Amino acid sequence: MSRSKKFSLVIGLLVVASMALAACQPQTQTVVETVIVEGTPQVVEVQAEQPAEPMPDTLVICLGQEPDTLYPYGGDMLASSQVQEAVWDGPIDNRSFGYQAVILEKLPSLADGDAVINTVTVNEGDTVVVDGAPTTLEAGMTVRPAGCNADDCAVEFTGGSIDMDQMVVTFSMLPGLMWSDGEPLTTADSVYSFNLMADPDTPASKYTIDRTATYEALDDTTVVWTGLPGYLDSVYFTNFWTPYPEHVWGQFTALELLEADESSRSPLGWGPYVIDEWTAGESITMHKNTNYFRADEGLPYFDNVVYRMVGENSNANIAAILSGECDVVDQTSHLDDQSELLLELQNAGQVNATFVTGTVWEHADLGINPVSYDDGYSVAAGDRPDFFGDVRVRRALAMCMDRQSVVDTVMFGQSVVLDTYLPPQHPLFNADVTSYPFDTDAGSALLEEAGWVMGDDGVRVSSGIDGIPDGTRFSINFWTTNATQRQQATQIMAQTLAECGVEANLEYWVSGEYFADGPEGPIFGRRFDIGQFAWLTGVEPPCDLYLSEQTPGPGDLTVGDVPWFAAANPDMDPSTTAFIAGWGGANDAGWSSAEYDSVCHAALQSLPGQASYDENHLKAQEIFADQLPVVPLYLRLKLAATRVDMCNFIMDPTANSEMWNIEEFAYGPLCD
The CATH number of domain 100-238 is 3.90.76.10: yes
Residue 6 scores a pLDDT above 50? no
167 torsion bin: left (phi>0), alpha (psi -120 to 50), beta (else) = beta
pLDDT of residue 538: 87
Dist. CA 549–CA 567, nearest whole Å:
14
pLDDT of residue 2: 44
Helices (H), 2-139: 3-24, 78-87
Percent of the chain with pLDDT over 90: 88
Contact between 233 and 249 under an 8 Å Cβ cutoff? The reply is no
Task: Work out the burial of residue 553: count CB atoms within 10 Å of its CB; fewer than 13 is exposed, 13-18 middle, 19 or more buried.
Answer: buried
- Phi/psi of residue 655, each to 5°? -75, 120
pLDDT of residue 56: 84
Averaged pLDDT for residues 428-453: 98
Averaged pLDDT for residues 223-236: 96
pLDDT of residue 151: 81
CA atoms within 13 Å, Cβ hemisphere of 318: 26
pLDDT of residue 54: 75
Confidence band of 609 (pLDDT split at 50, 70, 90):
confident
Containing 59, the helix (H) or strand (E) segment is strand 58-63
pLDDT tens string 317-359: 999 999 999 999 999 998 988 999 999 999 999 999 999 999 9
Residue 592 scores a pLDDT above 60? yes
Confidence band of 636 (pLDDT split at 50, 70, 90):
very high
Contact between 624 and 616 under an 8 Å Cβ cutoff? The reply is no
Dist. CA 466–CA 385, nearest whole Å:
11
CA atoms within 13 Å, Cβ hemisphere of 486: 20
Containing 273, the helix (H) or strand (E) segment is strand 273-279
Dist. CA 176–CA 187, nearest whole Å:
12
How far from the centroid of its chain's Cα atoms is residue 295's Cα?
A: 31
Dist. CA 22–CA 42, nearest whole Å:
34
pLDDT of residue 448: 98
More confident position, 2 or 102? 102
pLDDT of residue 259: 97
Averaged pLDDT for residues 253-263: 98
Q: Which of 24-33, 139-148, 449-458 has the lowest mean pLDDT?
A: 24-33
Dist. CA 190–CA 76, nearest whole Å:
20
Averaged pLDDT for residues 364-380: 97
Averaged pLDDT for residues 383-395: 98
Closest CA relative to residue 320, chosen from 17, 582, 554, 636:
17
The CATH number of domain 358-635 is 3.40.50.300: no
Q: Which of 9-18, 61-70, 617-626 has the lowest mean pLDDT?
A: 9-18
In order, the DSSP letters of 273-302 are EEEEEEETTTEEEEEE-TT-TTGGGT-SS-
Percent of the chain with pLDDT over 70: 92
Mean of the per-residue pLDDT values for the chain? 92
pLDDT of residue 37: 59
pLDDT of residue 1: 45
pLDDT of residue 152: 84
pLDDT of residue 505: 98
Start-to-end CA span in the chain (Å): 40
| Domain spans in the chain, listed from the N-terminal domain onward | 1-82+271-351+643-672, 100-238, 358-635
Dist. CA 96–CA 358, nearest whole Å:
10
pLDDT of residue 3: 42
Confidence band of 5 (pLDDT split at 50, 70, 90):
very low
Instruction: Give the number of other Cβ atoms within 10 Å of residue 58's Cβ.
Output: 12
Q: Which of 196-200, 248-252, 355-359, 362-366 has the lowest mean pLDDT?
A: 355-359
Dist. CA 161–CA 518, nearest whole Å:
42
- Phi/psi of residue 401, each to 5°? -95, 115
Coil, helix or strand at residue 271: coil
Confidence band of 18 (pLDDT split at 50, 70, 90):
very low
Domain 1-82+271-351+643-672 CATH class label = alpha beta
Containing 274, the helix (H) or strand (E) segment is strand 273-279
In order, the DSSP letters of 385-445 are P-SSSSHHHHHHHHHHS-HHHHHHHTSTT-S-B-SSSS-TTSTT--TTS------HHHHHH
pLDDT of residue 335: 92
Contact between 569 and 561 under an 8 Å Cβ cutoff? The reply is no
pLDDT tens string 441-495: 999 999 999 999 999 999 999 999 999 999 999 999 999 999 999 999 999 999 9
